[in-house]
């Protein structure tokens, strides 16, 4: 550690005012404050500075995502060998699957970070402000919500769009209206629908083509099957919970997401109110569908989908992932406590509603969160207004 | 008395005097109808999927705007103030119908594609905006200049947006293939058309990016905080 400190201190004059590489000052500053908590002290007034700044916050969120990432890598390998039938003939070991997944997943992570941070650095140099660390989390979220077969250039285009149009035009980190990672996914979903949905992209079958696929293999996700009406092909509940199903890289395992949720809640970084409210909203809608479903006649194609048990509905697809890592994004969520309950509840409600009723969008979580991101300021506004009204009434009562 | 206070007659401006030139160049950048006045956005979103449609639309708007501006300017002292909007609409509607008939007669295929939008030129805010703001108070020749300037300002934005939308959304320009077939995934390449470009929201994003670049370069447009 001391070596690193000395190295940073030694390089400092080169990047400070008057130094040779003055232009790159903010890039250097960004890296320095990433490695060490900055020693800035507040100059005026008595303010207490918490040791946990934005970089530390972001690092904890990334830590919370590691279970999802690791499980995602393993699952990519698992799904791959499963599709090729290796599981029947030779047992492929844990590390074998892990390695295959790592080779597939890590390039996506690298591209996402490379493009996103590159653009951030560019804007930093142009505008001359400190590097904003918001992309640390988005850069990890983007790979986790991509199908494994997404071409790298698409990841690059999506990340660039999300950083520039989703964030920089609004003024950078902390100013964005929409969740950056979901902006990237939504852009790619609408721009390249064949690569972001359907039954070809979720399981990596591209290489090893000399091995035939297993008979009856289908690469569709559970939600894809359900939307197409094949309820019998939906992954069983416990498999969905552990994550043994096809899907975007990091979102299949509800279990890994729950570990992340525990980390976020214990450290106080993610809002438990939003998580709980989203869960309740989803459960409420699923319960409603459970009740409505059996009463519909055959003409309604979604009647079987509606009857999936509540808990199963909640562990399918990206619901848990979105709930833990995306709905709780402190920038785009509501700020008031009452607002958080309303915001979370409506996300859960809409996600299940879109997923079941609209077969064109098998996963409603993305659209539900983006929609509620837009609504969040409105919710906050009314919560604040209601509070003012209530207190005004109290004042009027006392003076009367 | 009145003869004493009358302003001295100003010498007539030449056709290409500084003032008239400004009428044409201003709307191209500083006072662009789409990016600065934010008028005519609907048509910029609707018909910019293909470059050809954008060009036909621009030409149609230009014809209607020039003729309309000149007619209204010539009639400006005859139109009663209280019914001027109706009068302007009637003139615009007549001209639009004329353009529509001409398109149908000579370029039937294009006319079928842009069909409904040509009719909607009547509701293009740029038209009413220029009629109200300029033609009602100025002579026919400057009005024509103003119309040329504004329709050119409208046209270049439309063409720029359509250029990117057709190139990335369809891989072609004016119907000619630019990105070779062999690049596409179905032929073994790794390229896909960007479907988002075909959707109207992306036109709005492109117009937004043009506004962004324009404001960053043109210091006159930067709003004072």
pLDDT for res B3: 45
Summarised one tens digit per residue, pLDDT across range B63-74 is 999 999 999 999
Q: Would you state the structure tokens that stand for residue A314, as one six-digit string? A: 């909640």
Shortest Cα distance from B59 to chain A (angstroms)? 30
pLDDT of A64 above 70: yes
Q: Tell me what the mean pLDDT of segment A324-350 comes to.
A: 92
Sign of CA pseudo-dihedral A256, A258, A264, A267: negative
pLDDT of B161 above 60: yes
pLDDT of B9 above 60: no
A349 near A285, Cβ under 8 Å? yes
- CA-CA distance, A105 to A144, in Å (whole number)? 9
Shortest Cα distance from A247 to chain B (angstroms)? 22
- CA-CA distance, A360 to A177, in Å (whole number)? 25
pLDDT for res A317: 81
pLDDT of A340 above 60: yes
Q: Tell me what the mean pLDDT of segment A292-300 comes to.
A: 79
Please report which residue ranges of chain A form alpha helices under DSSP H: 2-15, 25-35, 54-84, 86-89, 94-127, 135-144, 152-161, 180-191, 193-196, 222-228, 237-242, 254-266, 272-292, 303-306, 310-315, 319-321, 337-357, 364-399
pLDDT for res B1: 40
pLDDT of A156 above 70: yes
Instruction: Compare CB distances from B195 to A153, A165, A193 and report the shortest one's residue.
Output: A193
- ipTM for the predicted complex comes to 0.78
A360–B contact, CB cutoff 8 A: no
Q: Tell me what the mean pLDDT of segment A155-160 comes to.
A: 92
pLDDT for res B188: 66
pLDDT of B4 above 60: no
Mean pLDDT, chain A, rounded, equals 83
Return the higher-pLDDT residue of A395 and A44: A395
Q: Minimum mean pLDDT among A64-78, A196-210, A349-363, A372-386: which range?
A: A196-210
pTM: 0.83
Shortest Cα distance from B48 to chain A (angstroms)? 17
pLDDT for res A227: 77
Confidence bin at A288 (pLDDT 50/70/90): very high
Q: Tell me what the mean pLDDT of segment B91-102 comes to.
A: 91
What backbone phi and psi angles, to 5 degrees, belong to B184? -75, 155
Contacts of B196 in chain A (CB under 8 A): 187, 190-191
- CA-CA distance, B165 to B147, in Å (whole number)? 27
pLDDT for res B108: 86
């Amino acid at each position: 550690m001391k070596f690193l400190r000395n190295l940073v201190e030694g390089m400092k004059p080169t990047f400070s005012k008057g130094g040779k590489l003055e232009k790159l000052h903010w890039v250097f500053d960004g890296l320095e404050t990433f490695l060490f908590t900055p020693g800035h002290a507040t100059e005026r007034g008595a303010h207490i500075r918490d040791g946990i700044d934005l970089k530390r916050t972001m690092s904890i969120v990334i830590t919370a995502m590691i279970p999802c990432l690791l499980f995602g890598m393993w699952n990519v390998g698992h799904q791959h060998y499963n599709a090729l039938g290796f599981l029947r003939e030779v047992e492929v070991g844990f590390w074998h699957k892990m390695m295959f997944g790592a080779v597939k997943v890590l390039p996506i992570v690298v591209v996402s970070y490379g493009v996103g941070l590159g653009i951030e650095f560019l804007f930093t140099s142009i505008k001359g402000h400190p590097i904003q660390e918001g992309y640390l989390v988005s850069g990890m979220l983007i790979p986790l919500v991509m199908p494994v077969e997404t071409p790298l250039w698409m990841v690059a285009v999506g990340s660039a769009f999300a950083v520039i149009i989703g964030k920089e035009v609004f003024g950078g980190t902390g100013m964005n209206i929409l969740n950056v990672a979901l902006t990237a996914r939504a852009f790619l979903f609408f721009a390249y629908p064949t690569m972001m949905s359907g039954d070809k992209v979720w399981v990596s079958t591209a290489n090893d083509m000399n091995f035939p696929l297993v008979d009856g293999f289908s690469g569709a996700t559970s939600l894809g099957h359900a939307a197409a009406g094949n309820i019998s092909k939906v992954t069983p509940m416990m498999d969905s919970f552990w994550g043994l199903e096809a899907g975007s890289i990091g979102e299949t395992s509800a279990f890994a997401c729950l570990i992340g949720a525990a980390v976020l809640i214990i450290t106080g970084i993610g809002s438990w109110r939003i998580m709980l409210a989203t869960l309740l909203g989803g459960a409420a809608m699923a319960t409603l569908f459970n009740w409505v479903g059996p009463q519909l006649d055959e003409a309604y194609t979604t009647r079987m989908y509606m009857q999936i048990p509540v808990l199963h509905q909640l562990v399918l697809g990206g619901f848990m992932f979105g709930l833990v890592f995306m709905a709780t994004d402190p920038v785009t969520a509501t700020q008031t406590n009452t607002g958080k309950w309303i915001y979370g509840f409506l996300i859960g409600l809409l996600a299940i509603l879109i997923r079941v009723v609209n077969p064109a969008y098998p996963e409603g979580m993305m659209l539900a969160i983006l929609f509620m991101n837009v609504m969040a300021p409105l919710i906050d506004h009314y919560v604040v207004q209601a509070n003012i009204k209530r207190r005004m009434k109290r004042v009027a009562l006392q003076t009367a | 008395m009145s003869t004493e206070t009358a302003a001295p007659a100003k010498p007539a401006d030449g056709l290409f005097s500084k003032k008239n030139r400004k009428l044409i160049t201003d709307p191209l950048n500083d006072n662009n109808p789409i990016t600065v006045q934010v008028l005519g956005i609907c048509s910029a979103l609707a018909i910019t999927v293909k470059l050809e449609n954008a060009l036909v639309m621009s030409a149609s708007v230009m014809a209607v705007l020039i003729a309309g501006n000149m007619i209204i300017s010539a009639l400006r002292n005859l139109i009663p103030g209280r019914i001027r909007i109706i009068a302007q609409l009637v003139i615009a509607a007549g001209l639009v119908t004329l353009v529509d008939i001409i398109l149908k007669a000579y370029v039937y295929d294009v006319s079928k594609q842009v069909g409904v939008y040509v009719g909607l030129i009547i509701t293009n805010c740029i038209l009413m905006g220029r009629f109200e703001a300029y033609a009602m108070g100025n002579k026919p020749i400057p009005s024509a200049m103003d119309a040329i300037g504004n329709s050119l300002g409208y046209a270049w934005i439309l063409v720029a947006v359509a250029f990117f939308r057709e190139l990335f959304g369809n891989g072609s320009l004016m119907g000619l293939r630019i990105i070779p077939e062999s690049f596409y995934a179905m032929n073994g390449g790794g390229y896909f058309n960007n479907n988002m470009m075909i959707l109207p929201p992306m036109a709005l994003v492109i117009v937004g990016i043009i506004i962004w670049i324009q404001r960053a370069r043109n210091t006159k447009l930067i709003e004072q905080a």
